[in-house]
Amino acid sequence: MNDRDAFRARARAWLQSVAPVYGFHARKGLSTADDLALARRYMAEKYDAGFAGINWPVEMGGQGLGHIEKVIFEEEEMPFDMPTSYFAISLGMPVPIMIRFGQGGQGEHRDWVRERVVKALRGEEIWCQLFSEPAAGSDLAGLRTRAEVDGNGWKLNGQKLWTSYAQYADYGVIVARNDPNVVKHKGLTYFWVDMRAPGVDVRPIKLADGSSHVNEVFFDDVRLEDSQRLSPVGGGFGVAMTTLMIERYTATDSAGFGPPLDVFVEHVKPLVLNGRPALEDGRVRSAIARNHAMRAGLDSITRRAMLMMQAGMEPGPEGSLNKLVSVRSRQKLSELALDLAGQAGLALDRHGSAHEDWTKSWLSAPTGRIAGGADEMLLNTIAEKILGLPQDYRPDKGVPFNQIPA
Amino acid sequence: MSILYDEGQQAIANESRRVLEARCSTDRMLGLLDRVGEYDAPFRETAVEQGWTALAIPEAFGGLGLGLVELGLVAQASGEKVAGAPFLGVGHAAAAAIEMQGTDALKAEWLGRIAAGTALGTIAFAEGTEILPALPETTFADGRLHGAKHGVTGGGKADFAIVWASCDGAPCLVLTGLGDAVVTPIDSYDNTRCHADLAFAGAPAVLLAQGRDARRLAMELLARVAVVLAHEQLGGAEALLFTARDYALTRRAFGQPIGAFQSVKHRIAEMYGLVEIARANAIHAAASVGTPGFLLAAADARLSATEAYDTCARDCVQIHGGIGATWEQGLHLHMRRARSLAIEAGSTFFWEDVLVGELTGEAA
């Protein structure tokens, strides 16, 4: 057994040992508050077991291992449905950005950042990412929240939208416009913000599936010190792009974060369709086969990327296909699963999980196709960055932000 | 077998692509479309000269002792150029049948000649709409074969065939030389595949396998052909992806390259997605030969490759507009090949059922 296999075995053994306390069955039916409390205990236990911040530097509270070990752990962790979602954004983007840009030019904030990192890893503190706005989603650089010079610091005014877990967040990272007189992506600056500061107002938004993990966040004359600035003035867009590019390869899920295909097959097996076993119906068989072929391809892409990383090579850009292809097909497969169930497909299990319940998977699928890059933006990215096709016609190009036609 | 190509495999990929780039000709292929029963002789000569016919034959019989991964890479390069000889897939399956089930005498008779390029083999399984009928009407008794096989890939040029037949009420696989068969070439939309109907009236044949063993072997052979074809389809799909991309970059309309319109660029991005999924499945399937998951992997590869090649053929022509539909421009060579490859070795309907059977265990 090589080191990585040993790591995987160790991770799996630990996950199995704590799954009865934190896994899918333990969580079923919990209120959000209770689930979050459980989640914080899980993170603390994970930290103590040495599986937190796997590829982060030891001096910042991490384990100092490679990216590959991080992905291995995530692969092992995913099937247990552990309560990690509250921390996914926090540990995925804002906290790594704090490690990279938040320690100060002379490292004067290093101890403070280290304390934040450890508390974030232990689930004691949560960071959110304040990017999207009512008028700036896919077009992030069109954002309007203002950061104006205020004495030796800054004053923040505006509104953010779709901010995941902001209602539980202690801190956030935010991009705001410091100069509307230059082209739109040049007038942005990147800060961290204390979510408990006066003038910050978080209001949860109820989504179509009944969940409320996203929020709108209002900033009304919120004071920022200049030491909270994480980019050069006007250099915020670059740091925001770094945020989005931090890890191209995380553990992916060819099921599109919905139920695996064997759950579909088991769902179909007892069903009858027009007097015949549903599994004998050509339409059903075709759907199973095509989904299997697609998911197997995505899995193979992921495995090849892992092998390339292990061999010290840079994985190809095809890993960017996963979310696009898997989530939209999960949406259709979930519709099909409900149709096949007949009248039973009308019922809703309010405690169902999108990882195993077709109704929940279907209800939450639209979010998956929009959050973190809408399908259309992902297609643009593939076309432009991988295939070298031209950008769309952009009337805002080269125009100062305050002169862009509304 | 790893799903990461090693240096030797990478070299085979690069070299076969380089050679075919120099020797394939769209004009020649266009001319052959109207010639029934003829393949592209320069491609066949190249395949022999480059050792592609010997690639997956054991070294003991003058082969190179390599496998499906290497063969797949040559097939992929051939698919890119719509190269005109059909024997990479069916020829491999015919040789594999002899290697797995043949007597020493049979191996000595055929394998060396296949490797040297002096004999061509194919498989003849289909009857009517069934690629692998439960009990074929072609019969084998007393060492003689009676019946007919339809649309045999390479049948117009093959020296021998592995035939799916019935023997005492059970299916069997036999080898027969085609010297005694009536071979009727089919006038096809993709004539260099040399599709032909074969009729047997007492042709001598040798039994290779019977009953459940025969069916297992037949599925293994079809899966191998499917994996080689998947690589060919992948090569064709990828070539069309880049052709569409290049055209969208140069063709201008309404004051900009048409590739700047999302209706066009998203279509091309979708082609990329299909190509990469097909590639990943093809590599995995080729590396899975000999493992219990091979049939499932082959079905995955086959289905995604067919979808990729069909879609790319359709959409690449569409992106070209009128010029894409002309004879001279030649995109229809891919369109034709996409269809013939989709049908050979079992269509999507067949492989979807194979896949579900493997997945649910109903096949066992």
- pLDDT tens for A325-384 read 999 999 999 999 999 999 999 999 988 889 899 999 999 999 999 988 899 999 999 999
Q: Which of A333, A243, A266, A268 is nearest to A294 (CA)?
A: A333
Number of domains in chain A: 3
B262 lies within 8 A of chain A by CB: yes
Assess if residue A384 is contained within a domain.
no
H-state helical runs in A213-256: 236-245
Q: Average the pLDDT over A169-196 and give the result.
A: 97
Tell me the pLDDT tens digit for each residue of B294-338: 999 999 999 999 999 999 999 999 999 999 999 999 999 999 999
Q: Looking at residue A251, what is its pLDDT? A: 59
Residue B208 CA: distances (Å) to CA of A200, B93, B96: 79, 13, 12
Let me know whether A344 and A271 are in one domain.
Answer: yes
User: Which of B2, B299, B300 has its CB closest to that of A297?
Assistant: B300
Q: Does B260 touch chain A (CB under 8 A)?
A: yes
Burial A236-259 (b: 16+ CB within 10 A, else e): bbebbebbeeeeebbebbbbbbbb
pLDDT of residue A282: 96
Question: Furthest-apart CA pair in chain B: how many Å?
Answer: 74
| Token code pair at residue B276 | 């990469």
Domain residue limits at A287: 261-373
Cα(B222)–Cα(A62) distance, rounded to whole angstroms?
A: 51
Q: What is the ipTM of this complex?
A: 0.95
Say if B303 is an interface residue toward chain A (CB within 8 Å).
yes
- Stretch A112-119: mean pLDDT: 98
By DSSP bridging, strand A276-277 and strand B182-185 are: unpaired
Whether A13 and A67 map to the same domain: the answer is yes
Q: What is the pLDDT of residues A129-159, one digit of tens each?
A: 999 999 999 999 999 999 999 999 999 999 9
Does residue B363 belong to the interface with chain A, where contact is any CB pair within 8 Å? no
Residues in B closer than 8 angstroms to A379, CB to CB, are 262, 265-266, 269-270
Instruction: Answer yes or no: do A317 and A365 share one domain.
Output: yes
My answer on whether A271 and A208 are in the same domain is no
Distance CA A333, CA A337 (A): 6
Q: What is the pLDDT of residues A310-327, one digit of tens each?
A: 888 888 888 889 999 999
Give how far A27 is from chain B: nearest CA, Å: 30
The residues near B17 (Cβ < 8 Å, ≥ 6 apart) are B77, B80
Question: In order along chain B (364 residues), what is the average pLDDT of each group of 10 residues?
Answer: 89 96 95 95 95 95 95 97 91 97 96 96 96 97 97 97 97 97 97 97 98 97 98 98 98 96 97 98 97 97 98 98 96 98 97 96 68
What are the boundaries of each domain within chain B?
7-89+104-116, 121-211, 216-360
What CA–CA distances, in Å, run from B123 to B135, B150, B207, B209? Answer: 17, 11, 14, 14
CB contact under 8 A, A390 and B360: no
CB contact (8 A) between residue A379 and residue B270 = yes
Q: A140 with A185, same domain?
A: yes
> Is the domain of A211 the same as that of A142?
yes
pLDDT-based confidence at residue A244 (cuts at 50, 70, 90) = low
Q: Which two tokens stand for residue B115?
A: 């490797």
Q: Residue A230 has what DSSP assignment? A: -
Same domain? A206 vs A306? no
Q: Where would I find the H helices in A213-351?
A: 236-245, 261-268, 282-310, 321-340
Taking the CA of residue A396 as centre, how many other CA atoms within 13 Å lie in the half-sphere pointing to its CB? 16
CATH (domain of A265): 1.20.140.10
In this structure, the number of other CB atoms found within 10 A of the CB of residue A51 comes to 22
pLDDT of residue A242: 80
Alpha carbon separation from B190 to A1, A325, B55, B75 (Å, rounded): 51, 33, 26, 17
Same domain, A21 and A73: yes
- pLDDT tens for each residue of A297-309: 999 999 898 888 8
Could you tell me if A302 and A221 lie in one domain? no
> What tokens were used for A139?
């077009």
Q: Which of A51, A83, A115 is the last residue of a domain?
A: A83
**If DSSP codes are grouped into helix, strand and coil, which group holds residue B187?**
coil
Please indicate, yes or no, if residue A92 is contained in any of the structural domains: no
Check which CATH number belongs to the domain holding A54 and give it.
1.10.540.10
A375 token code pair: 């399908």
Q: Nearest-CA distance from B193 to chain A in Å?
A: 27
- β partners of residue B139: B146, B166
d(CA A76, CA B222): 36
**Inter-chain contact A296–B283, Cβ cutoff 8 Å?**
no
- Domain B7-89+104-116 indexed as CATH 3.40.50.2300: no
Taking one residue from A and the other from B, the number of pairs with CB-CB distance under 8 angstroms is 133
Q: What is the DSSP letter of A229?
A: B
CATH class of B121-211: mainly beta
Please identify, among A48, A83, A118, the residue that sits at the C-terminal boundary of a domain: A83
The closest CB to that of A389, out of B249, B281, B356, belongs to B249
CATH topology of domain B216-360: Butyryl-CoA Dehydrogenase, subunit A; domain 3 (1.20.140)
Q: Measured over all CA atoms, what is the biggest interatomic distance in chain A, rounded to whole angstroms?
A: 77
Q: What torsion do the CA atoms of B338, B340, B345, B349 make, to the nearest 10 degrees?
A: 70
Chain B residues in contact with A304 by the CB 8 A cut-off are: 3-4, 280, 283
Q: Sorting pLDDT into bands at 50, 70 and 90, what band is A250?
A: low
Is A270 found in the same domain as A240?
A: no
Residues A164 and A229 in one domain: yes
pLDDT of residue B170: 97
- Whether residues A223 and A329 share a domain: the answer is no
Taking an 8 Å cut-off on Cβ atoms, the answer to whether A391 and B284 are in contact is no
| A278 interaction partners in chain B (CB closer than 8 Å) | none
Residues B299, B287: Cα–Cα separation, whole Å: 14
Question: Is residue A270 included in any domain, yes or no?
Answer: yes
B299 touches chain A (CB under 8 A): yes
